[in-house]
Structure 1
Amino acid sequence: MRRRALLLSGWPVAWAGGAVEPAAAQAEELRLSRFPKSANQLIASHILQEVYRRCGLAARIEPLPPSRAPIEALAGRLDGEVSRLRRHQDDYPALVRVVPAFDYFVMTAFSKRRIAVASREDLRRYRVGAIRGVQVVNDLVAGLEGVERAANSESLFMMLAADRFDIAVDVDINGAVQIHRLRQSGIQPVGVLLQAEVFHYLAPHRAYLQARLSEAISDMRRSGELERLKRRFSQQFIELGLEAD
């Protein structure tokens, strides 16, 4: 039976359903958002929880649609977004990007057909499905005719399994989780489209935390801790058959 991943609240939640680790009484807690039903974003959330722990901070992380999250942050109702691309700040310059990047993703093409995809141009030959509201995905499928849109990764791969289109475009870990979930679907990765770093963003009223978080991320990058955390959380997520809420 598949287990549902728990909503991240306070310190990191053990994958197998362990208790939430209590935050120190004096820890400052921030309310952050991540994309719903995205394994990639849930894993990034766990990594970021470790960064926050290093800084003596706590984070309550909840799923919000990617188009709504920056609006909530700019209105002061949200303290930040777990992970977005570098250019997210081009669209929302008042948001505070924490550098360096703390995570990355690999955008991948998935299909039931025996094909090979090496670039965006290769997508033109096929019927393509993609998640709505994600800028990097929008860029990859821009100009393609008849792109089918899904609300999240789970819906996207169910549509692919039902032959609604030939190729689904999504992050590698999201695809791996859905392939594990769908078992005998015949879906497999057929090509890498791009790899990109992602950054944590703070709402303007939390800008004073930028330097502290940047220092922690830099230290964890140099030590290799961020990469070890990503490998560990990704492997556990797939092996336990968890679902992103």
Structure 2
Amino acid sequence: MLRHRLRVSDYRWVLIGLLFIAVQPTVFAKQSTLTFRAPDPGPVGDAVIEILEEAYQELGISLQYVDMPRNRSLVEANNGRISGELGRLPDLEAHYNNLQRVPFELFAFETVLVADRRNCGLCTLDDIDNAAFISGMQTVLHALEEAAFSKPTVQALDISQLHLMFSNQRVQAVLLNDFEARQLGYYSEPHLIITPIRQQFGYHYLHQQHAHLIEPLTETLEAMHDSGRVTEIYRSHGVHFQRTKTFEVSPYFSQISATAGLWRTLTHVDGSGRYWQLVKRIFEPVTDSLTLNTNSYQRAVLGLNEQRFDFLVGGVKNQASIHGIESLTHLDYDRDLYAFTMDQAAMDALLEGELKLPVCYVAGYGYHALFKGEMIFYQADSSLDCFAMLDMGRMGAVVNYRENMPDWITTPYVQYKLREAVPVHLIFHDTPRGRELRDWFDYRMRQLVKSGEIKEIFSDAMLERSHFTKNLPPKS
């Protein structure tokens, strides 16, 4: 027999080998590689991959990925042909019995509706005529079911096809995760409104044949979270989860301060004006002290940037001079923006970025990105100052609105439209307090428009200009 031919030293090595095998985690023996559907490219998906690969590596397991549609991956995962799902909604196991959730909140996200404000104003599910979403997105299907949405929908194969359908205006709106909307640049487009629909956490799922991995994997992920490693990985990919606050009860702020430039009929020094009326209607019920400060626009912007005020009324998206976050819901639209010169030669030089004399605009705004070259820009205190210096030959061009042209014109200016009207927002600080104030404004603004209460504050012309007439209740 074999045992009679083994020396004592041989027995020792056999025993050591058996002991080594025995102390290895069972996962080594059962599975060394797991296979999942490859996520759509993007910072969140890349971060999730890095987190899970690092956690599984601690268990001696490597990961590999295959390309397939989301719907198909659920079927494949449930049937055990792939190992599970990298990140999905909670309660997935209720519909796919063979999938088991790893009880660790892997990421947070919101399902959002994206549409063009000019077509649907506030653009809630009630306001759109059709929508598209990626096939297999359970969050969207649940949201549409909850809202009893009965209008036409189209399902795209992937994020690229969804974006193509939307950008080609084949659908009025798209529904997707907020991190996908950021990836596509939707949050930066002035005319696109982002409407939060549903908040969720994402979890990792495994097929039941890998259920023995759930406990050690959860412990590893929790340890990574407690050490700050999970946050570190997300930040390295530029991912910051900021969920929109929902309000079951009204918030409370001991004091709130707001600032704005001086605009006729909108923001008077004495606290009257339609914008100030709106601010009072929204914020007075949630504070003991609401302070309204009307300044020059430059001082208003500077006051916000120096954190002397909680928010600025009258900013636009991507305004380089302002440091903060804008409201998701606009309060108005401004007007078409024009360049003015004394003659066509000056206008041609301006548009080519070769104008020698300075370009004048009201301090607080920033229009450098609208032009080529490296021209000289001059900030004036008022529109009239700019036009006066243009007439005197001290300025080569003025950037402003037609409505601000002076009454003294004797010779018509050469005019060129630089951009169409864009939405006007409230701008808040990017802090927990600032985000809560922003979310409260968005929440109440939608209520005011949907109820028709906004008509007590805004004129018919303002409602038309801001596209809110599309959201008002039907006339009785």
By the TM > 0.5 criterion, same fold?
A: yes
Q: Is 2:85 the partner of 1:81?
A: yes
Kept in 2, the 8 Å contact 1:95–1:203? The answer is yes
Report the 3-state secondary structure (helix = DSSP H, G, I; strand = E; otherwise coil) of the residue aligned with 1:56: coil
Distance in structure 2 (CA, Å) of the matches to 1:228 and 1:168: 31
Q: What does residue 21 of structure 1 align with?
A: none
Q: Is 2:131 the partner of 1:125?
A: no
Distance in structure 2 (CA, Å) of the matches to 1:214 and 1:153: 30
What's the TM-score once normalised by structure 1's chain length? 0.72
- CA shift at 1:42, angstroms? 4.3
After superposition, give the CA deviation of every residue in 1:139-158 in whole Å (9 maximum; x if it has no partner).
22233311232111111122
Q: What does residue 160 of structure 1 align with?
A: 166
Report the 3-state secondary structure (helix = DSSP H, G, I; strand = E; otherwise coil) of the residue aligned with 1:96: strand
After superposition, give the CA deviation of every residue in 1:222-244 in whole Å (9 maximum; x if it has no partner).
23322332232245xxxxxxxxx
Quick one: which of 161, 169, 180 aligns to 2:175?
A: 169
Letter in 1 for 2:163: F
Identity of aligned pairs, percent?
22
Quick one: which of 95, 104, 109 aligns to 1:105?
A: 109
Count of matched residue positions in the alignment of Structure 1 and Structure 2: 205
Q: 1:168 to 1:74 in 2, by over 3 A?
A: closer
Kept in 2, the 8 Å contact 1:34–1:81? The answer is no
Q: Is 2:97 the partner of 1:55?
A: no
Kept in 1, the 8 Å contact 2:100–2:205? The answer is yes
Asked which structure has the greater CA Rg, the reply is: 2
Distance in structure 2 (CA, Å) of the matches to 1:190 and 1:36: 21
- CA shift at 1:202, angstroms? 1.0
Higher RCO (C-alpha 8 Å, min separation 6): 1
Distance in structure 1 (CA, Å) of the matches to 2:156 and 2:197: 19
Distance in structure 1 (CA, Å) of the matches to 2:152 and 2:166: 14
Kept in 2, the 8 Å contact 1:109–1:168? The answer is yes
Distance in structure 2 (CA, Å) of the matches to 1:85 and 1:93: 14
After TM superposition, the structure 1 stretch with the greater mean CA deviation from structure 2, 123-132 or 42-51, is 42-51
- CA shift at 1:36, angstroms? 4.6
Gaps of 5+ in 2: 1-27, 240-476
After superposition, give the CA deviation of every residue in 1:192-241 in whole Å (9 maximum; x if it has no partner).
22221111111121111111101011122223322332232245xxxxxx
Q: What does residue 155 of structure 2 align with?
A: 149
- CA shift at 1:35, angstroms? 4.5
What's the TM-score once normalised by structure 2's chain length? 0.39
Q: What are the within-5 Å matches in structure 2 for residues 218-233 of structure 1?
A: 218-233=222-237
After superposition, give the CA deviation of every residue in 1:97-140 in whole Å (9 maximum; x if it has no partner).
111222222222222325435xxxx2121132211221111122
Q: Is 2:71 the partner of 1:67?
A: yes
Distance in structure 1 (CA, Å) of the matches to 2:68 and 2:44: 14
Q: C-alpha root-mean-square deviation of aligned residues, in Å?
A: 2.8
Distance in structure 2 (CA, Å) of the matches to 1:133 and 1:62: 17
After TM superposition, the structure 1 stretch with the greater mean CA deviation from structure 2, 27-36 or 188-197, is 27-36
Q: 1:39 to 1:135 in 2, by over 3 A?
A: farther
Letter in 2 for 1:131: I
Distance in structure 2 (CA, Å) of the matches to 1:171 and 1:43: 16
